Amino acid sequence: MANTSWLIVMLLSITCRESMHCNGFTVDPPVDVVISDVGQLGRLQISWSPPASQVNVTECSQLYQLEYFDTYIDSWSAIRTAKMNYTAQFDLMKDVRVRVYTLLRGPCTNGILIKSSSYTELVQNPPSTGVGTPVQDFVCVYHNMKYVECNWGRSPKLSANSQQHLYFWHRELDQTEECPKYLKASGTRFGCNFTENSLPEFTDINFCVNGSSPEGPLKPAFISLQIQNQVKPGTTEKLHLRKVPEAQLELRWDNPAGKVPAHCLEWEVEHNQEGPDGKIALQQILTDQKSLTLPSIHDTQINCFRVRSKLSKYCANKGFWSGWSPATCQPEKREKAPKPEQSRDIVHVYVFIAFAIIAILVLSLCVGAVLKMRSLRDVKKPDALLANVFARNSVLTVMDA
Ligand SMILES: *[C@@H]1O[C@H](CO)[C@@H](O)[C@H](O)[C@H]1NC(C)=O
Ligand SMILES: *[C@@H]1O[C@H](CO)[C@@H](O)[C@H](O)[C@H]1NC(C)=O
Ligand SMILES: *[C@@H]1O[C@H](CO)[C@@H](O)[C@H](O)[C@H]1NC(C)=O
Ligand SMILES: *[C@@H]1O[C@H](CO)[C@@H](O)[C@H](O)[C@H]1NC(C)=O
């Protein structure tokens, strides 16, 4: 019981420290909250002014607590600052919601931190202008950390004469820039190639896909991402597979060429085992090593391997799998030597075509011969018919008589 009341007293005193009713001193929330868009495609500046009642309080230091709804993580974020402005990243396709409190501490409050009981809130709705729906499926891929390519899905309802634009901004740019090299299919833009070294890592890159159409401006889409989370490593070119003593198979491979840090890669090895009865067993192995040893390999089995890589979670929040390497088998499969096989195939095709031509010739000769025989018979037939008719007539005549 004593323990419980002690706890309540403690909780009350903690609450007191953060509120304003304890020593009768109150503080008002800030005024004139303004959200300004300086054209950085999602970075907004929030500014405010101190409450009128606090303008002359000099013996206390004034702080502000800004809370804003972060739509990227679907929760409120809070910061405390002595300044009267703050810049944060927002998704301009969603509501922008901010709340500001005043905090006071110093001799005027007996040294305890006092927070205004209420906040000043500002909610800004996304602009509802524009026709159609914003582009969907916007994906950026940082190919082997060499160049960035972004693609978007074209809205099926988009009219043929509309033109889409991609703009981007990051903190090294004074103002937005347009895509340096659009990717197009039959005249329609569907993506952008930023070519080499054009986007910085570890900073938000804000994109906007907007456009114009005969019906008016298209509804813009806003996307924000960091390119080190979009890496797709290069494809591993070659696997080294060899038999080692004690019936083991050893598989080794190298990092893809490029600037992806070697320690960042994790690998998926696909092991395809074909038994003498033709049964295939498929196995996927995840590893952070660049080699693999497999025990007890039977001579009657065919073992094939291929690998692909991805940035591990220690290096990036997410990423894309690389393409699969070519497969390597033990014992080597016939597909391993594609060139002779291919030329042999071509010889087969030629032989087949020659046979086909001869067959067609022979067939047409036969058909010709048959037709000729028929026509010869047809010439004879009228006589036979006539003979029949005469025969029948004569029969009839006989009957009449
Ligand atoms: C602040 O102080 C100035 C001069 O000392 C005075 O003119 C003004 O009215 C005061 N403002 C408030 C809100 O009390
Ligand atoms: C932000 O506020 C500080 C003081 O609180 C001021 O010096 C600065 O100029 C403001 N920045 C902008 C961009 O308005
Ligand atoms: C994009 O640019 C890179 C680097 O200049 C180039 O290697 C790549 O082929 C380009 N991609 C397309 C689809 O044009
Ligand atoms: C698209 O956005 C850019 C950057 O904000 C702007 O300069 C341009 O006027 C916009 N275009 C259309 C057609 O809305």
Which amino acid, one-letter code, is at 383?
D
CATH number of this structure's domain 11-124, picked from the four choices 3.20.20.30, 1.10.10.10, 2.60.40.10, 3.40.50.2300: 2.60.40.10
pLDDT band at 5 (very low <50, low <70, confident <90, very high): low
Q: Whose CA is nearest to atom 8 of ligand 3?
A: 195
Ligand index nearest the alpha carbon of residue 87: 2
For residue 345, the model assigns a pLDDT of: 62
Which amino acid, one-letter code, is at 296?
S
For residue 130, the model assigns a pLDDT of: 85
Atom of ligand 2 at shortest range from CA of 85 = 1
Fold of 234-339: Immunoglobulin-like (2.60.40)
**DSSP summary character for residue 175:** S
90, two tokens: 């927002």
For residue 366, the model assigns a pLDDT of: 67
Distance 50 CA to ligand 1 centre (A): 14
For residues 70-75, average pLDDT: 94
In the predicted structure, residue 398 carries a pLDDT above the cut 60: no
For residue 192, the model assigns a pLDDT of: 96
Q: Which of 29-38, 56-65, 216-225, 353-362 has the lowest mean pLDDT?
A: 353-362
Ligand index nearest the alpha carbon of residue 84: 2
pTM over 0.85: no
CA distance 225 to 104: 37
Q: Whose CA is nearest to atom 4 of ligand 3?
A: 195
11-124 and 136-231, same CATH topology: yes
CA distance 346 to 344: 5
Mean pLDDT, all residues of the chain: 82
Ligand index nearest the alpha carbon of residue 169: 4
Superfamily for 136-231?
Immunoglobulins (2.60.40.10)
In the predicted structure, residue 35 carries a pLDDT above the cut 60: yes
Q: Is the CB of 173 under 6 A from ligand 1?
A: no
Beta pairing, strands 231-232 & 136-143:
parallel
For the chain, first and last CA: distance in Å?
A: 143
Q: Is the CB of 211 under 6 A from ligand 4?
A: yes
Tell me the pLDDT tens digit for each residue of 92-144: 999 999 999 999 888 888 888 889 999 999 999 998 888 888 898 999 999 99
Distance 130 CA to ligand 4 centre (A): 12
E-strand stretches of 254-333: 265-274, 280-287, 291-294, 302-311, 328-330
Kindly list the protein residues whose Cβ atom lies closer than 6 A to any atom of ligand 2: 47, 83-85
Q: Whose CA is nearest to atom 12 of ligand 3?
A: 193
pLDDT band at 198 (very low <50, low <70, confident <90, very high): confident
Ligand index nearest the alpha carbon of residue 146: 3
Q: Peptide bond before 331: cis, by omega within 30 degrees of 0?
A: yes
125, two tokens: 């709705």
Question: Where along the chain do its domains lie?
Answer: 11-124, 136-231, 234-339
Contact criterion met (CB below 8 Å) for 291 and 303? no
pLDDT band at 11 (very low <50, low <70, confident <90, very high): very low
Which amino acid, one-letter code, is at 40?
Q
For residues 290-298, average pLDDT: 81
For residue 26, the model assigns a pLDDT of: 80
Q: Is the CB of 166 under 6 A from ligand 4?
A: no
Distance 32 CA to ligand 2 centre (A): 14
CA distance 48 to 98: 11
Chain length of the chain? 401
Q: Is the CB of 58 under 6 A from ligand 1?
A: no
Distance 83 CA to ligand 2 centre (A): 7
For residue 62, the model assigns a pLDDT of: 86
**8: part of which helix (H) or strand (E)?**
helix 2-18
Residues 6+ apart with CB under 8 A from 83: 64
Distance 192 CA to ligand 3 centre (A): 10
Phi, psi of 361 (to 5 degrees): -60, -50
In the chain, what are the helix, strand and coil shares in percent, each to the nearest 5? 25, 40, 35
CA distance 24 to 187: 70
For residue 231, the model assigns a pLDDT of: 96
In the predicted structure, residue 353 carries a pLDDT above the cut 60: yes
Contact criterion met (CB below 8 Å) for 155 and 164? no
For residues 271-282, average pLDDT: 88
